[in-house]
Amino acid sequence: MSKDPVSRRQFLNYTLMGVGGFMAAGVVMPMLRFAVDPVLEVEAAGNFHATKLKVSDITSEPQRVDFKYEQTDGWYKSDVTQTAWVYKDEKGDIVALSPTCKHLGCTVNWSTNKQHPNQFFCPCHGGRYEKNGKNVPGTPPAAPLDAYPTKVKGGYLYLGKPQPNPYVK
Ligand code: FES
């Protein structure tokens, strides 16, 4: 029986177990994070971000609204800037569309194509959308523009996370 409380062999075993455990944690943690992420996302979907647009200033003509908010991803905080095209429909309901083209992700603008006024136009490949975001058949985009859920608080417009367009039936 050795006088040492920990033999050389035991010490080596403990060290290898420690290093192995550390490396296994490095593999398992990202998998756990991946599994838990959708749960966190559902919670984030309920978040609305303030814009500087007063609801009383929204007309039937789409106007571009840029809004900023702070996003926390784990321990990393960053400022995010997003854009929406906002107008009131014939019933007076607020419509807020994402400007991200559903073809390859360029930014669409309202009524900038003289041949097709009163449509959203994507300058990258000539994609077009009707006012409610419906993609015009025969142009590259294969789906309608996404839409932001809207909320009014203190007379100002708040926008959620873009969702598939509910205005196109
Ligand atoms: S990215 Fe918009 S038409 Fe191609």
Shared-domain flag, residues 85 and 149: yes
Instruction: Please give the residue that has the higher pLDDT: either 120 or 40.
Output: 120
Q: Which domain holds residue 12?
A: 1-45
**pLDDT of amino acid 95:** 98
Mean pLDDT, range 137-164, rounded to an integer: 97
Cα–Cα distance between 8 and 68 in angstroms, integer?
59
Ligand 1 pocket (Cβ < 6 Å) reads 101, 103-104, 106, 122, 124-125, 127, 140-141
Residue 153 C-alpha from the chain's centroid = 21
Shared-domain flag, residues 73 and 99: yes
The answer, as to whether pTM is greater than 0.75, is no
Question: Is the pLDDT confidence value at 43 over 50?
Answer: no
Shared-domain flag, residues 77 and 155: yes
Q: How far is the CA of 57 from the centre of ligand 1 (A)?
A: 30
Q: How far is the CA of 132 from the centre of ligand 1 (A)?
A: 17
Cα–Cα distance between 92 and 51 in angstroms, integer?
19
**pLDDT of amino acid 64:** 98
Cα–Cα distance between 98 and 115 in angstroms, integer?
23
Best probe residue, ligand 1, of 104, 112, 120, 135 (max atoms within 8 Å of C-beta): 104
Backbone φ and ψ of 146, nearest 5°: -70, 165
Terminal CA-CA length for the chain: 82
**Structural domain contains residue 169:** no
Shared-domain flag, residues 38 and 58: no
Shared-domain flag, residues 136 and 94: yes
User: What residue has token string 């929406």?
Assistant: 84
Mean pLDDT, range 129-150, rounded to an integer: 98
Q: How far is the CA of 84 from the centre of ligand 1 (A)?
A: 17
**pLDDT of amino acid 44:** 46
Per the structure, how many domains does the chain have?
Answer: 2
